Amino acid sequence: MQTDLKDKESVFSGRKIREYIDKYGILIGFIIIVILLSITSPVFLKPTNIINILRQVSIIGVVSMGMTLAIIMGGIDLSVGSVLALVGVTAALFAREGMYPVYVPVLVGILVGGAVGLLNGFIIAKGKIPPFIVTLGTMTAARGLALIVAKGMPVGGLSENFNVIGGGFILGIPIPILIFFCILGLVALILRKTRFGRRIYAIGGNEQAAVASGINIDKVKIKTYTVLGLLTGIAGVVLASRIKTGQPNIAVGYELDAIAGCIIGGVSFNGGIGSALGTFLGTIIIGVINNGLDLLNVQTFYQQIVRGAIIVFAVWLDRKRVI
């Protein structure tokens, strides 16, 4: 009898430990990384470096927020890197000095991103084609379109008012960071407080059950990818403003960083699980690791290996959690 009780206690204690790790593992890992880097590099915890990390991850962070919605719903978007480039060159064409007020290139860029997202969502929903295939095709097409729009050359000569978006400050805080935090709050609100967010979770958790409960699956999918496209449009405008040019070959591999931020942050590839705050932490972890490796003078080639290993490890943890 006592042996049975001990076995039960050990099972419950093991289960509690696992639940605790699932719930707080990201935060614990983040704290450990920060402690290690602060020990190895005295520069790491300086306010200027913290601001630099947040500014570096702000663009990927905005895209990751949109990617969070798609992955929770059970989808994915491989085209965001190419869409960033397309948005950047399109916005840059309207942002040249003396051409239009600053709001014109901003709106054009955001609408271009939203249009691509709408197209992705429509084909996925109505064509019943897997998101991986659709967005893989869009990735190639959007990159080609960016090269056509820019005629294969960077689009420069942007107005100072436009360049302020990516390089300016409000109350001493870089504007890209403020935009990132605003998008974080918006996505968190969508997921936690709106019917749209609840339906995203429902579809990702069990699409058949969502259909049976009366949810319009196609409508939610189209809306989700449109929101993702709009957020990618915002990020593309900020990126073009920050580098002061529209580059058709930029943002290669950004889709992997955005997906990695989500998965490291606890968003499940199986759908139905995840949060905006978790993705925020995942994105910050990637930025902290990249920054720490730079401070430690680790070569770029080795940094790519580390990032790849982190992605594989995060996916492995996701699979273990589901099992």
| pLDDT surpasses 80 at 25 | no
Residue with more model confidence, 189 or 34: 189
Across residues 222-228, what is the average pLDDT? 98
Which amino acid is it at 101? P
| pLDDT surpasses 70 at 9 | no
Beta strands in 13-168 (DSSP E): none
In a domain, 16, yes or no: no
> For position 99, what pLDDT does the model report?
87
Across residues 93-102, what is the average pLDDT? 92
Q: Which of 8-12, 27-31, 176-180, 286-290 has the weakest average pLDDT?
A: 8-12
Is 55:165 a contact under the CB 8 Å cutoff?
A: no
| pLDDT surpasses 60 at 192 | yes
| pLDDT surpasses 80 at 91 | yes
Mean pLDDT of the chain: 90
Is 120:79 a contact under the CB 8 Å cutoff?
A: yes
Closest CA to 277 of 189, 175, 205: 189
164-168, long-range: CB < 8 A, 24+ apart: 164/241, 165/102, 165/106, 165/237, 165/238, 165/241, 165/242, 166/238, 166/239, 166/240, 166/241, 166/242, 166/243, 166/244, 167/241, 167/242, 167/244
Confidence of residue 21 (pLDDT cuts 50, 70, 90): low
Residue with more model confidence, 140 or 27: 140
In a domain, 39, yes or no: no
In a domain, 182, yes or no: yes
In a domain, 308, yes or no: yes
50 DSSP β-pair partners = none
From first CA to last CA, the distance across the chain in angstroms is 30
Phi, psi (deg, nearest 5) at residue 44: -55, -45
Q: Which of 30-39, 152-161, 270-279 has the weakest average pLDDT?
A: 30-39
Confidence of residue 42 (pLDDT cuts 50, 70, 90): confident
* Count of domains observed in the chain: 1
Across residues 165-190, what is the average pLDDT? 95
Is residue 321 helix, strand or coil? helix
Residue with more model confidence, 83 or 297: 83
> For position 23, what pLDDT does the model report?
65
Question: Which CATH number fits the domain that encloses residue 318?
Answer: 1.10.3470
Across residues 246-272, what is the average pLDDT? 90
Dist CA 30 CA 36 (whole Å): 10
Q: Which of 73-82, 92-101, 159-168, 289-298 has the weakest average pLDDT?
A: 289-298
In a domain, 316, yes or no: yes
In a domain, 216, yes or no: yes
User: What are the residues whose beta carbons fall under 8 Å from the beta carbon of 13, sequence distance 6 or more?
Assistant: none
174 DSSP β-pair partners = 169
Tokens matching residue 150: 């820019």
Residue with more model confidence, 158 or 299: 158
Confidence of residue 41 (pLDDT cuts 50, 70, 90): confident
Computed from CA positions of residues 56, 59, 62, 65, in that sequence, does the dihedral angle turn out positive or negative? negative
Cα 127 from chain centroid (whole Å)? 25
> For position 318, what pLDDT does the model report?
64
In a domain, 306, yes or no: yes
Residue with more model confidence, 303 or 70: 70
> For position 312, what pLDDT does the model report?
79
Dist CA 85 CA 82 (whole Å): 5
Which residue, chain included where needed, has tokens 């957020």? 231
> For position 3, what pLDDT does the model report?
56
Across residues 3-24, what is the average pLDDT? 59
Confidence of residue 20 (pLDDT cuts 50, 70, 90): low
Cα 81 from chain centroid (whole Å)? 11
In a domain, 21, yes or no: no
Across residues 104-113, what is the average pLDDT? 97
Q: Could you give the percent of the chain with pLDDT greater than 90?
A: 69
Across residues 143-165, what is the average pLDDT? 94
| pLDDT surpasses 70 at 14 | no
User: What are the residues whose beta carbons fall under 8 Å from the beta carbon of 40, sequence distance 6 or more?
Assistant: 292, 296
> For position 19, what pLDDT does the model report?
65
Is residue 24 helix, strand or coil? helix
Query: Which structural domain range is residue 208 located in?
Result: 46-322
Dist CA 232 CA 79 (whole Å): 10
Tokens matching residue 45: 């915890």
Phi, psi (deg, nearest 5) at residue 298: -80, 135
State pLDDT tens for residues 304-320.
788 788 777 777 766 66
Closest CA to 229 of 56, 69, 58: 69
Across residues 283-305, what is the average pLDDT? 87
